[in-house]
């Protein structure tokens, strides 16, 4: 391969979501509001889980972790995206782009492993209710959370290690509003077929397999719940329903984005917005609005706040 230092790409240009100034300002306002809501909602959940003894059970620890990850996730994406709406040249440096991919896949990977763990947690809670607290004890919880971080890290390092070896000699225009593997790999000036295959299996197949396993598991759980109408039946059903909603919101776009050849389709940007902007803000609402324990914790917090302000 010939190396030509003059044409090495040091910067990528985002085409972004909007072209006209009005649209950019409109998107800026909308996305700023969503980012604000994402931060407030998710940090509220993290705080409630940390300080409210009512929520000191494994399921809520995992939800707290998920919220923390959503908060980090949008903080990796949103500031750059928001600045992009306001600047004339929406660019990102090569290093910035690679870091974005790293964190994007690191956090996304943890989230996916965490969702699998949460399904297992529900499985234990529903099939072995009496032994739940001994099976999911503190050590096990901390262990599986740690394992999901390691899993996310390994997944992300593999992605980045492949991408940094690709030569980029232009063009440098990404038809997206953040750096992600499919668009970046397409810009490499080499035959990327093998790389794409590897990426599809590392991201696409892994997520598809997890998704299928999760959907089957939740179907079994729902079937089991329907069979025995024990007390707490409605609560268990609504917990499972919100888990299924979140799993679908996370995995659906993920499978769409990664499990296919790296070419663009008209729906791509809409799905990317759903995946990076909308999903993180929806998680807290799905849980807090549906969950009685969270509502109680929130009410308690409000009452304490009212008392402390004269
Ligand atoms: C994440 O999970 C661990 C282990 O269960 C727990 O100790 C920790 O409090 C959780 N973190 C958050 C932010 O909820």
Q: Please name the residue whose Cα sits nearest to atom 8 of ligand 1.
A: 61
Q: How far is the CA of 199 from the centre of ligand 1 (A)?
A: 31
User: Is position 28 within any domain?
Assistant: yes
CB atoms < 10 A from the CB of 150, how many? 12
Q: Please name the residue whose Cα sits nearest to atom 6 of ligand 1.
A: 61
pLDDT of residue 38: 95
Query: For residue 180, what is the domain's CATH number?
Result: 1.20.1070.10
pLDDT of residue 65: 94
User: Is position 6 within any domain?
Assistant: no
Digitized pLDDT (tens) for each residue of the chain, 310 residues in all: 444 444 688 889 998 888 888 999 999 999 999 999 999 999 999 999 998 888 888 989 999 999 999 999 999 889 988 998 988 888 999 999 999 999 999 999 999 999 999 999 988 988 888 899 899 999 999 999 999 999 999 999 999 999 999 999 878 898 888 999 888 998 998 888 888 888 888 888 888 999 999 999 998 888 888 776 656 677 788 888 888 988 999 999 998 988 887 777 888 888 999 999 999 999 888 877 778 888 888 888 888 888 876 6
User: Is position 142 within any domain?
Assistant: yes
Q: Residue 89 burial (CB < 10 Å; 0-12/13-18/19+)? A: exposed
Inter-residue contact 211 to 251 (CB < 8 Å): yes
pLDDT digits (tens, 9 = 90+) for 150-179: 999 999 999 999 999 999 987 889 888 899
pLDDT of residue 226: 79
Could you give the CA distance from residue 13 to residue 126 in angstroms, rounded to a whole number? 50
pLDDT of residue 251: 92
Residue of 61, 30, 62, 19 whose CA lies nearest to 281: 30
CB atoms < 10 A from the CB of 76, how many? 19
From 63, 65, 107, mutation site for ligand 1 pocket: most ligand atoms within 8 A of C-beta:
65
- Give the number of domains in the chain: 1
pTM of the predicted structure, to 2 decimals:
0.89
Which atom of ligand 1 has the smallest separation from the CA of 142? Answer: 4
User: Is position 110 within any domain?
Assistant: yes
User: Is position 2 within any domain?
Assistant: no
User: Is position 4 within any domain?
Assistant: no
pLDDT of residue 230: 59
User: Is position 253 within any domain?
Assistant: yes
Range of the domain at 60: 11-308
pLDDT of residue 29: 95
pLDDT of residue 175: 86
User: Is position 54 within any domain?
Assistant: yes
From 48, 50, 61, 136, mutation site for ligand 1 pocket: most ligand atoms within 8 A of C-beta:
61
Q: How far is the CA of 109 from the centre of ligand 1 (A)?
A: 17
Q: Please name the residue whose Cα sits nearest to atom 11 of ligand 1.
A: 65
pLDDT of residue 232: 66
User: In the structure, which protein residues have their CB atom closer than 6 angstroms to any atom of ligand 1?
Assistant: 46, 49, 61, 64-65, 68, 141-142, 145
Could you give the CA distance from residue 102 to residue 177 in angstroms, rounded to a whole number? 16
């Amino acid at each position: 391969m010939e190396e030509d230092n003059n044409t090495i790409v040091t910067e990528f240009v985002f085409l972004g979501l909007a072209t006209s100034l009005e649209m950019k300002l409109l998107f800026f306002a909308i996305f700023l509001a969503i980012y604000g809501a994402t931060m407030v909602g998710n940090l509220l959940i993290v705080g409630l889980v940390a300080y409210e003894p009512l929520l000191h059970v494994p399921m809520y620890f995992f939800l707290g972790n998920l919220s923390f990850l959503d908060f980090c996730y949008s903080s990796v994406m949103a500031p750059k995206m928001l600045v992009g709406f306001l600047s004339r040249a929406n660019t990102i440096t090569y290093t910035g782009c690679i870091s974005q991919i790293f964190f994007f896949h690191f956090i996304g990977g943890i989230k996916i492993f965490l969702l699998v763990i949460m399904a297992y947690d529900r499985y234990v809670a529903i099939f072995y209710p009496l032994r739940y607290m001994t099976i999911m004890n503190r050590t096990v919880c901390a262990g599986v959370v740690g394992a999901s971080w390691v899993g996310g890290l390994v997944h992300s390092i593999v992605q980045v290690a492949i991408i940094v070896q690709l030569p980029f000699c232009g063009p440098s225009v990404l038809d997206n509003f953040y750096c992600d593997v499919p668009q970046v790999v397409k810009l490499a000036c080499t035959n990327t077929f093998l790389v794409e295959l590897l990426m599809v299996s590392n991201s696409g197949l892994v997520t598809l397999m997890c998704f299928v396993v999760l959907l089957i598991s939740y179907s079994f759980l729902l079937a089991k719940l329907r069979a025995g109408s024990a007390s707490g039946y409605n609560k268990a059903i609504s917990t499972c329903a919100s888990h299924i909603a979140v799993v679908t919101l996370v995995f659906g776009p993920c499978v769409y984005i990664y499990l296919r050849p790296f070419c663009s389709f008209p729906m791509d940007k809409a799905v990317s917005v759903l995946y990076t902007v909308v999903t993180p803000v929806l998680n807290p609402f799905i849980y807090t609005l549906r969950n009685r324990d969270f509502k109680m914790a929130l009410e308690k917090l409000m009452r304490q706040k009212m008392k402390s302000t004269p």
